[in-house]
Amino acid sequence: MRTYCFTKQNYFSLFFYLSYFKYQRFIKIKHLYLLIFTIISFIGFSQNPANDTLVKDAINLKEITISSDDTKNNQMAAQVISNIDKLLRPTNSAQDLLRLVPGLFIAQHAGGGKAEQIFLRGFDCDHGTDFSVNIDGMPVNMVSHAHGQGYADFHFVIPETVDKLKVFKGTYTAQYGDFATSGAGEFNTKTNIGKSMVKLEGAMFDTYRALAMIDLLQGKHLFTKNNENFYIAGEYFYSNSYFESKQHFNRYNIFTKYSAQLNNNNYLNFSASTFNSTWDASGQIPTRAVSDGAITRFGSIDNTEGGKTGRTNINAILTTALKNGGVIKNQGYYSYYDFNLFSNFTFYLHDSINGDQINQTEKGRSIYGYKFTYEKNSTLFNKQLKTIIGAGTRIDDGQTSLRHSIKRTILDTISIGQLNQQNAYAYLDETLYLTNKFSINTSVRFDYFDFSYHNFKYDSLSGRKQVPKVSPKLNLYYDVTNTVQFFAHAGYGFHSNDARSVVIKSSQNNLATALGYEVGSTFKLGKSIIMNAALWGLDLESELVYVGDEAIVDITGATRRLGGDLSLRWQLSNNLFLDGDINFSHGRYKALPDKQNFIPLAPTLTSTGGLSYKRNKGLNASLRYRYINSRPANEDNSTVALGYFLVDAVVNYNTSKFQIGLTAENLLNTTWNQAQFDTESKLKDETKSVTELHYTAGTPFFVKASIAFLF
C-alpha cells in the first residue's frame, strides 16, 4: 500500500454547495460548541523524509486512506497547496496564495504594495491581527507596526518559489503563538525547482511582469558530494491598475535558496531575499461622492496616497538526525524592514484647511529570531508516543512614527518613538496513540513578552512591561474505518496588543485570550469523494482594533463566534476535479445589547469552488467562483458592507519546453467593493461630517497572458 503525505501537489478539490447553518441549531454543551474544521486530504506524492524531496505519483483520490498514519502525524494541518491550485488559480502576487485557505478572503485598499486585509472564520483579521503567516518557519506578521498590529505583508515572496502550505485553523497548535487565533498558514519554498524558467506576463491596465528562476548547480556539486540544490529567482512587476489616477506600482523581488545533505545526519537549508515596492493609491472613497457624481467608482478624493516599503531576509535551518532516533532542528533568521505609507481616511474632518492625510513609517526595523525543536518517537506503557519540544525567541527593534502631511509633505509629527519588543517561548507537544484507532494530542505553550517603547515627544507615554502567557491545548482523533475519522479540538491562544498601548495602560488585554473549540469529521463518499465537516466556536477576550489615525488601539470588548465549515473534493475522472468550500459564522459582542452587538466587517457566509481539468502536459483549464455575503459594517448594522460573487477562469498549455497561459478575473465584469469601512469623513466643501460606507472599488474584468520557457 502506498503512503500518502500532507505535502506538495497533493489534494484535489471538489465541491457541492451544501447547507446553511443557523445559529439556533448549534448544540450547546456547557461552554463547548460544536464546530467544523475543514481538512482536505491529499494524494499523489510520496516523500523522502531525509530531504523533503517529492516523488511524483499518479493523482488518484480512490487510493487515499483517511486514517493513515500521515493523517495523525500531520493532524493539525488542514491542507497543503496542491500543484493544480497554484497553476490554475489567478495569482498576481504571493498574497493571492492566501486565498487557497478554505474560507479565507483578502481585500486591498491602499494600492497594490500594501498588505491586504484578511478575512477568516468570522474575523476581520485586519492585516494579520488574528491570522499568523509564516514562510519557511520565519514569521511574516509585524508586532506593534505603524499601520496595524500583526501587519503581514507577504509581497516579498515570489509565488513560483512556493512549494506547499500547511493550514492550521483555530487555536489548537502549540508551535504557533501570537496572532494564531483564527488560524495560521505555514508556507514553504521549494528546495529544488527542477528546470530553470523565464516567464513573461502582460495584462490590461499597463500591467507587466517578468520572472527568472535559474538552477545554479544543474546536477553538479558545490560544497558536498551529497544531494545539493541551489537556485536564484528574480521578479519585476509593474502596473498602473484600473483606477483613474495611475498607480505606478513598481515591485522587485530577489530570492535565493541553497539546500544540502551535509552528511548522513545533517541537512541544511539557507535562503536570502530582498524586496522593494513603491506605489500611488486612490484610497477609500465615500459613497456619497460617487452618488453625487463628484467622482466615479475608480476616482479618488486624495490621489497623493501611496507609499514604499522593503524587506530583506536571511534564514538558515539545520536539521540533525540523532542516534536515538530523535531529530533536532535549529533555525536562525534576520529581517531588515522599512515602511512609508501616506493615507487619508477622513479627508477634511480634523483639518479643514490642509486635510487629514497621515504618514505612517517604520524606519530600519530589525527582527532577530531563533527557533529550536526536538522531535522523538518512543513508547509509553507499550503505546506509541510522539514528543515535540520547542523553544525560541524573537526581537523587534526599530523606530515607528505617525505624522500629519499634505500631498506627501510633512506638516507635523503626531507620534514618534523607538520600539524594542521581545517574545520568548517554549512548548511541549505529546501525541499518544492509545489504540490503532484512537489518539490523543496534548500540548502546552508558554510565552513571555517584554514590551518596551520610548516616545521621543512625550516621555510620559514611554514605558516597559513584561507579560507572561500560558496556552494549553487538547486534540482527539478517532478512526472509525480507513475512510472515516472523527476529531475534537480545544485550546487557548492569543493576540498581542500594540506595545505603545501596553506600556501606558493597565495589564488587561495585553495578550488577549482566545478559547477555541470544535468537532468534526473527515470521510469518503464512495471511492472518489472526500468530505470534511466541522462545527467550531471561539471566545475572544477582546477585539483589539488599531486606529491608525491616532496610533492607538481601541479595546472594544469580548466576542463569541460560532460557525461551521464544509468542504468537498471530487475526482470526476482521471483529469477532471470538482472542489468547493462553504463557511458560516455567527459572531457577536458579549456585553453589548441585542441588535447593537454586531462585529463590524466580520464575514458570515463565504464560499469558493470550481471545476479544474489537469494534465501533466497539454491543456489545463479552471473555472472558479468566490462568494462573500453582505455583512454589518458597524455594531448596529446601520451600515452594510456589500457582498459579491465573482467568476475567474484560467487556461494553460504545458510542454516540457514552454508554457503559455491566459487568465481572466471577474469574468462577468461584476461591480464589487474590496475593502469597506464605516467611516466618518468630511469633504472640503461640506459644512458637517457624514458617517457612511467608504470603499475601494474591486477589479473589473481583467485579462492576463503569459509565456514561460523551461530549460
Q: Do the Cβ atoms of 170 and 183 come closer than 8 Å?
A: yes
- pLDDT score of 374: 98
Least confident of 43-47, 533-537, 622-626, 648-652: 43-47
Least confident of 45-54, 239-248, 266-275: 45-54
Per the structure, the complete domain to which residue 211 belongs is given by: 23-710
**Percentage of residues in the chain with pLDDT exceeding 70?**
87
- pLDDT score of 212: 98
Instruction: Give just the sign of the alpha carbon dihedral 148, 117, 542, 548.
Output: positive
Quickly list H helices, 377-516: 499-502
Cell of 43: 494524494
| Residue 94 included in any domain | yes
DSSP string, 442-465: EEEEEEEEEEEEEESS-GGG-EEE
pLDDT higher than 90, residue 659 = yes
Cell of 624: 472558479
Rounded Cα distance between 316 and 257, Å, is 10
Of residues 278 and 90, more confidently modeled: 278
- Mean pLDDT of the residues in the chain: 87
Query: Stretch 695-702: mean pLDDT, rounded?
Result: 96
Which residue from 499, 431, 441 is spatially nearest to 475, judged by alpha carbons?
441
Rounded Cα distance between 609 and 86, Å, is 14
Quickly list H helices, 470-522: 499-502
Instruction: Using DSSP, state whether 574 is helix, strand or coil.
Output: coil
Residue 147's identity, in one-letter code, is: H
pLDDT higher than 80, residue 167 = yes
Instruction: Using DSSP, state whether 323 is helix, strand or coil.
Output: coil
| Residue 245 included in any domain | yes
pLDDT higher than 50, residue 22 = no
- Write down the number of H helices and E strands in the chain: 4, 40
| Residue 310 included in any domain | yes
| Residue 617 included in any domain | yes
Kindly report the length of the chain: 711
**CA dist 385 → 379, 388, 473 (Å):** 5, 10, 17
Q: Note the pTM of the prediction, 2 decimals.
A: 0.88
Rounded Cα distance between 95 and 157, Å, is 8
Cell of 561: 463566534
How many domains does the chain contain in total?
1
The contacts of residue 506 (CB under 8 Å, 6+ apart) are: none
| Residue 529 included in any domain | yes
Q: Please count the other Cβ atoms lying within 10 Å of the Cβ belonging to residue 643.
A: 16
- pLDDT score of 206: 97
pLDDT level of residue 137 (50, 70, 90 thresholds): very high
Q: Do the Cβ atoms of 507 and 161 come closer than 8 Å?
A: no
pLDDT higher than 50, residue 582 = yes
Q: Which residues are registered as beta bridge partners of 286?
A: 694
- 474 CB burial (10 A radius; 0-12, 13-18, 19+): middle
| Residue 8 included in any domain | no
pLDDT higher than 50, residue 53 = no
- pLDDT score of 553: 77
Residue 247 has, within 13 A of its CA and on its CB side, a CA count of 27
Q: Do the Cβ atoms of 660 and 651 come closer than 8 Å?
A: no
Residues 373-403 have pLDDT tens digits of: 999 999 999 999 999 999 999 999 999 999 9
What's the CATH code of the domain at 628? 2.40.170.20
pLDDT higher than 50, residue 350 = yes
pLDDT higher than 90, residue 182 = yes
Rounded Cα distance between 523 and 464, Å, is 51
Cell of 115: 498588505
Cell of 516: 477555541
| Residue 500 included in any domain | yes
* 337 alpha carbon, distance to own chain's centre: 19
- pLDDT score of 438: 95
Residues 63-111 have pLDDT tens digits of: 666 764 544 433 333 444 555 666 667 777 777 888 888 889 999 877 7
Which residue from 612, 608, 643 is spatially nearest to 629, judged by alpha carbons?
643
- pLDDT score of 1: 30
- pLDDT score of 82: 54
Residues 488-511 have pLDDT tens digits of: 999 999 999 999 999 987 667 899
* 702 alpha carbon, distance to own chain's centre: 24
Cell of 8: 506538495
Rounded Cα distance between 90 and 85, Å, is 9
| Residue 15 included in any domain | no
Of residues 36 and 129, more confidently modeled: 129
Backbone torsions φ then ψ of 484, nearest 5 degrees: -135, 125
